[in-house]
Amino acid sequence: MTPKGLVALVAAFIVILLVSATVYVIPETHRGVLLRFGELVETDIQPGLHFKLPWIDESRTFDTRVLLLDVTTNRYLTIEKKPLDVDSYVTWQIQDVDQFYRSTGGDEMRAVSLITSRVDTGLRNEFAGRTMYEVISGERDALVDNLTESVDKLVEEEFGVKVRDIRVRAIELPGEVSQNVFRRMSTEREKEAQEYRSRGRELAEGIRADADRQRTIVLAEAFREAEEVRASGDRVAAKTYADAYDQNPEFFKLFRSLRAYEETFKDKGDMLVLDANSDFLRFMNDMQATGSASGNN
């Protein structure tokens, strides 16, 4: 290479080095600050092409998009001193680049640590003032809304950061507490079931007693009606017998005697020992006497 070419190459290198040390670019999604000997001389530099003093000034850029921060699952106590494992996340954004740099030194990890600390303190306070039911379902939305508002106000003043939202992904009982809760729930359900069974048995006994009472009443009414019908029939029969007896007493006596004979001597093997002059045999003796008289004639 010729001396002129070498000089031209060195000059081009120096120009490129000078331009790179003088010009800097802020991306569209970022904002910047300019430092001179470590001192802040310009803040909130907008996106675009900018110039600085070479080797004297230093530019720093910060992402101003909405960022997601996953908060480590932590354990908090409710107002009843019951522990809950809470998994949450935060969306945040650098709002004031000047304040952000002055409070954190431009270290995003330090900002994340500070935000996490404020969120952890806020969650601890919110849970400590509510019952387990309230933080799980009853006032969960109110909890995160209050927390977002309070943390946002705090970190915006301190760090120039805007907290857009704080959300709770999940609230879980610790393993040892879950077992106790399940056992207590099982005991309560068993107690409730036993109460229902006792109430059912009591109702069943009442229904059964009422059915037995109604059965007794129905049978008594039926027996009374049957006795009345039977008594009425007996009266009619007695009256019929009496009327018949009055019309022909001798025939009625004969009829009754014949029925008695029929019932007494129903089988061939039946035997009855009586006095020959017994009133039971009066009609048979009369019939025999009548037959004898007819034969003599």
Instruction: Give yes or no: residues 157 and 212 share one domain.
Output: no
**Does 25 fall in a domain?**
yes
Instruction: Give yes or no: residues 79 and 44 share one domain.
Output: no
Which of 15, 47, 63 is the C-terminal boundary of a domain? Answer: 63
Residue 147 structure tokens: 């927390």
How many independent structural domains does the chain possess? 4
Residue 21 structure tokens: 């040390």
Highest mean pLDDT among 50-54, 219-223, 251-255, 266-270: 219-223
This prediction's pTM: 0.55
**Does 189 fall in a domain?**
no
Position 97 scores a pLDDT of 92
Per residue in 106-121, pLDDT (tens digit) is 888 999 999 999 999 9
**Does 139 fall in a domain?**
yes
Contact by Cβ (8 Å): 110, 104: yes
Mean pLDDT of the chain: 82
In the predicted structure, residue 276 carries a pLDDT above the cut 60: no
In the predicted structure, residue 42 carries a pLDDT above the cut 80: yes
Write out the residue range of the structural domain in which residue 202 sits: 195-247
Instruction: Give yes or no: residues 134 and 148 share one domain.
Output: yes
Instruction: Give yes or no: residues 204 and 269 share one domain.
Output: no
Pairing outcome for strands 30-36 and 39-45: antiparallel
Instruction: Give yes or no: residues 83 and 124 share one domain.
Output: yes
User: For the chain, first and last CA: distance in Å?
Assistant: 195
**Does 185 fall in a domain?**
no
Instruction: Give yes or no: residues 112 and 17 share one domain.
Output: no
Instruction: Give yes or no: residues 75 and 168 share one domain.
Output: yes
**Does 290 fall in a domain?**
no
**Does 177 fall in a domain?**
no
Position 112 scores a pLDDT of 92
Which of 16, 43, 63 is the C-terminal boundary of a domain? Answer: 63
Question: What CATH number corresponds to the domain at position 94?
Answer: 3.30.479.30
